[in-house]
Every structure is written in C-alpha cells, then in structure tokens.
Amino acid sequence: MLGENHALLVDFPEYQDKIKSLTASDAEFATDAKRYHDLDTEIRKLELQNTPTSDEFIEKAKLDRLVLKDKLYEQFTQA
C-alpha cells in the first residue's frame, strides 16, 4: 500500500519499551533507527506526493529500509 507508515513503533508495538531503551542507550542502534525513520519518511513522501522518481531509486530506498529493519529487529528482539 502506498504511503503506509512503517515506523518501528507502529510495526512492532509489542517491542516499544525495548526500542525506546535501545535508542537511549545504544548509539549505533539510535543511528540506525534514525536512518530507518528518515528512509521511511522519504519513501512515504515520494509515494504520497506522487513525486517523479526512477524505479531504481525507490526500489533501492525500499531495500535499504528493509535491510535496516531486519538489523534493528534482530537487535531489539535479542535485547
């Protein structure tokens, strides 16, 4: 679905406390979480505003978001 919010706290509400705790205590996690949030926001804006962009650009951004999401998920589920 276009423009869907994939924020970590939206997609994983059951891990809200762990995500917040790691964001506050782990600089690498916080950096990756910010990058994830920024990518998600950028993708959503492009989709909602129907901004002209290449398929390659949007697919790369979505892949980068997915890789970060997997990395972050592994970290907060193992914490």
Establish if 14 belongs to a structural domain.
yes
pLDDT in tens, 1-33: 566 888 999 999 999 999 999 999 999 999 999
- Domain span at residue 16 reads 8-78
Check if the beta carbon of residue 3 is closer than 8 Å to that of residue 48: yes
CB 68 within 8 A of CB 37: no
- pTM reported for the whole predicted model: 0.88
Sign of CA dihedral 34, 40, 42, 45: negative
2, part of any domain: no
CB 35 within 8 Å of CB 42? no
pLDDT of 77 reads: 95
- How confident is the model over 45-68, as pLDDT tens digits? 888 887 788 889 999 999 999 999
Radius of gyration of the chain (CA): 13
Looking at the predicted structure, is the pLDDT value of residue 40 above 80? yes
pLDDT of residue 5: 86
Q: Which tops the pLDDT comparison, 1 or 72?
A: 72
Split into its structural domains, the chain has a count of 1
Spatial separation of the C-alpha atoms in residues 79 and 76, rounded to whole Å: 5
In a domain, 3, yes or no: no
Residue 1 inside a domain? The answer is no
